[in-house]
C-alpha cells in the first residue's frame, strides 16, 4: 500500500476536532430520538402526540438549542476533514482523490444499510454524495468557496418562498383554489394514515413490515434534498475554508477571529433560533407558506450562528484545561463518531421497535431527551476504554479496511 493512502494515525489527529465531533454526537442524538420513537409526519406537521405544556416546552428546547446547529457542526467538520485528508495525502506524495472517492463510496454504503436496516433519517448517504460535490471545489479560492457556500445556503429559503408565492397566487383564483384545497386535504389524509401506520407497524409489526414502513418514511424525506441539504453543502465548503486557514486545527491561535465570530454570531443565534422555534411549532412543514419561509430563513441564519457560538464556547473550555478528563473522554467518543452514530440508531430503535421493547409511540419528548443523555453518557464512558485496547472504533476500522485494502492495526 502506498504511504500516501494510509489512514491518519492517532498521533496526527487534532484533539480539538475530535472534541467538537464528540460534543456534536449528543446534539445529533437529542434531535434524532423523537424522530426514532415517533412518526415522522407527526413531527413535520402541527399534529402531535404530546400536546401538553411539558412536552411542548421540551420540543421548543430541542428546536432552539439543538435543531439545525449540530448537523451544521458535523458538516463543517466534514469539510475540514476533507481538506486535511487531501492535504496530508498530497504531502506524502501520492494521488489523493482515488482513495478519497473510495472512502466516500464506503460511507454511502454505510448510509444505505443504515436506512434499510435501522432508521430512515440517515445523514451518511447525503454526506457521501455531497463529498463528491465538494471535490469540485478543492482547487478553488477561498472567495469562490465562500460565495458558493452562500448560494447553496440560501437555496432552501428561495425555494420555499417561491413555492409559497405560487400557492398564494393559486389560491387567489377560484378554480385553481378548489383543486389546490382538494390536494391539501388529500395530503393531510396521507399524513394521518402515515402516522397511524407507523404507530401500528413499528411497535407490533414484523421485520419486513418495519423495513417497508421505514422506506415509506424515507420517501417522505426525499424533498429534504432540495429544502434541507443545500445548506449542508454550503457548510461543508465553509469548512474547507476554515481548514485552509487553520482556525480549528490551531484552537490556541486566532483569538481575534474567535472573538469577532462570537460577537457577530450570538445575536443571529438568539434571534434566529427563537424565531425558528416559535414558527416551526406553529406551522406545518408540508405546505409552503409565509410562515414556513420565515422559519426556513430563521434556521438558515440561526442554526449556523448557534453552531459558531458553541464552537467558541467549547474552544474556551478546551483551552482552559478544566474538566480535562471529561474533555478527553468526549474527544475519544469523537474518534469513534461513525460507530457511535450507528450505535445510537441501533440502541434507540431496539428500544422502540417490535423486535426490542416495542416502546414506539410511548416515549414522549422530554423522556426522549433523558434517554439521549443516558445513551450518550454510556458512549462517552465506553470510548476511552475501547481506544486503550484498539486503535479505531469497530466501524471506523471496517471503513478503513474497505477504503485502504487492509485491516488497521
Contacts of 33 (CB under 8 A, 6+ apart): 348, 363, 368, 369, 371, 372
How far apart, in whole angstroms, are the C-alpha atoms of residue 115 and residue 120?
Answer: 5
pLDDT at 48: 74
Contacts by 206-213 with C-beta closer than 8 Å and gap 24+? 206/354, 207/355, 210/353, 210/354, 210/355, 211/116, 211/117
The mean per-residue pLDDT over the stretch 324-330 comes to: 96
The answer to whether the beta carbons of residues 292 and 282 sit under 8 Å apart is no
Exposed e or buried b for every residue in 34-56, given b needs 16+ CB within 10 A?
A: bbbbbbbbbbbbeeebbeeeebe
**Which DSSP string do the residues of 221-258 spell out, in sequence order?**
HTTHHHHTTHHHHHHHHHHHHHHHHTTTT-TTS-HHHH
pLDDT band at residue 102 using 50, 70 and 90 as cut-offs: very high
Report the pLDDT averaged over residues 140-164.
94
Q: What percent of the chain has pLDDT over 90?
A: 71
CA distances from 311 to 16, 113, 242 (A): 10, 31, 12
pLDDT grade for 1, boundaries at 50, 70 and 90:
very low
Rounded-to-integer distance, Cα 93 and Cα 388, Å: 31
Percentage of the chain modeled with pLDDT above 70: 94
* pLDDT at 45 > cutoff 90: no
Residue indicated by cell numbers 451518511: 124
Once rounded to an integer, what is the mean pLDDT over residues 367-389? 97
pTM of the predicted model as reported, rounded to 2 decimal places: 0.92
Spatial distance between the Cα atoms of 329 and 208, rounded to a whole number of angstroms: 38
Residue 345 pLDDT greater than 90, yes or no: yes
CB 365 within 8 A of CB 42: no
CA geometry: angle 4, 7, 10, nearest 5 deg: 125
Q: Which of 98, 153, 152, 114 lies closest to 304 in space, CA to CA?
A: 153
Q: Among residues 70, 4, 64, 1, which one has the least CA distance to residue 32?
A: 70
Give dist(CA 243, CA 151) in Å, integer.
Answer: 20
Mean pLDDT for the stretch of residues 366-384: 97
Residue 206 main-chain phi, psi, to 5 deg: -75, 170
| 67 pLDDT higher than 90 | yes
**Which region, left, alpha or beta, applies to residue 274 given φ > 0 means left and ψ of -120 to 50 means alpha?**
alpha
Domain ranges of the chain: 3-404
Residue 16 has pLDDT above 60, yes or no: yes
Cα separation of the two ends of the chain: 14
Amino acid at each position: 500500500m502506498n504511504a500516501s493512502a494510509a489512514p491518519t494515525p492517532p498521533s496526527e489527529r487534532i484533539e480539538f476536532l475530535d472534541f467538537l465531533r464528540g460534543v456534536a454526537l449528543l446534539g445529533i442524538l437529542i434531535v434524532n430520538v423523537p424522530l426514532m420513537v415517533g412518526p415522522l409526519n407527526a413531527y413535520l406537521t402541527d399534529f402531535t402526540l404530546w400536546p401538553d405544556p411539558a412536552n411542548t416546552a421540551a420540543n421548543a428546547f430541542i428546536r432552539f438549542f439543538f435543531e439545525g446547529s449540530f448537523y451544521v457542526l458535523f458538516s463543517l467538520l466534514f469539510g475540514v476533514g476533507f481538506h486535511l485528508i487531501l492535504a496530508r495525502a498530497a504531502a506524502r506524495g501520492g494521488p489523493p482523490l482515488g482513495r478519497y472517492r473510495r472512502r466516500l463510496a464506503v460511507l454511502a454504503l454505510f448510509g444505505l444499510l443504515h436506512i434499510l436496516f435501522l432508521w430512515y433519517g440517515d445523514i451518511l448517504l447525503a454526506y457521501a454524495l455531497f463529498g463528491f460535490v465538494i471535490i469540485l471545489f478543492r482547487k478553488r479560492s477561498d472567495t469562490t468557496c465562500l460565495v458558493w457556500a452562500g448560494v447553496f445556503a440560501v437555496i432552501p429559503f428561495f425555494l420555499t418562498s417561491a413555492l409559497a408565492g405560487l400557492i398564494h397566487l393559486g389560491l387567489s383564483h377560484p378554480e385553481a383554489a378548489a383543486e389546490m384545497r382538494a390536494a391539501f386535504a388529500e395530503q393531510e389524509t396521507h399524513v394521518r394514515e402515515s402516522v397511524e401506520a407507523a404507530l401500528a407497524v413499528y411497535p407490533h409489526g414484523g421485520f419486513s413490515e418495519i423495513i417497508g414502513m421505514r422506506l415509506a418514511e424515507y420517501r417522505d424525506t426525499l424533498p429534504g434534498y432540495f429544502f434541507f441539504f443545500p445548506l449542508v453543502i454550503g457548510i461543508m465548503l465553509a469548512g474547507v475554508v476554515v481548514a485552509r486557514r487553520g482556525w480549528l486545527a490551531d484552537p490556541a491561535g486566532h483569538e481575534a477571529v474567535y472573538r469577532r465570530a462570537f460577537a457577530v454570531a450570538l445575536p443571529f443565534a438568539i434571534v434566529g433560533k427563537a424565531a425558528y422555534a416559535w414558527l416551526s411549532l406553529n406551522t406545518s412543514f408540508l405546505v409552503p407558506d409565509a410562515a414556513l419561509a420565515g422559519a426556513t430563513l430563521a434556521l438558515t441564519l440561526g442554526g449556523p450562528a448557534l453552531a459558531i457560538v458553541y464552537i467558541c464556547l467549547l474552544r474556551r473550555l478546551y483551552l482552559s484545561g478544566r474538566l480535562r478528563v471529561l474533555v478527553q473522554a468526549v474527544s475519544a467518543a469523537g474518534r469513534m463518531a461513525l460507530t457511535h452514530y450507528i450505535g445510537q440508531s441501533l440502541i434507540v430503535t431496539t428500544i422502540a421497535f417490535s423486535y426490542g421493547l416495542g416502546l414506539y409511540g410511548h416515549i414522549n419528548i422530554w423522556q426522549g431527551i433523558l434517554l439521549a443523555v443516558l445513551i450518550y453518557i454510556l458512549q462517552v464512558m465506553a470510548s476511552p476504554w475501547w481506544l486503550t485496547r484498539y486503535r479505531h472504533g469497530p466501524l471506523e476500522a471496517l471503513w478503513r479496511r474497505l477504503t485502504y485494502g487492509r485491516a488497521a492495526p
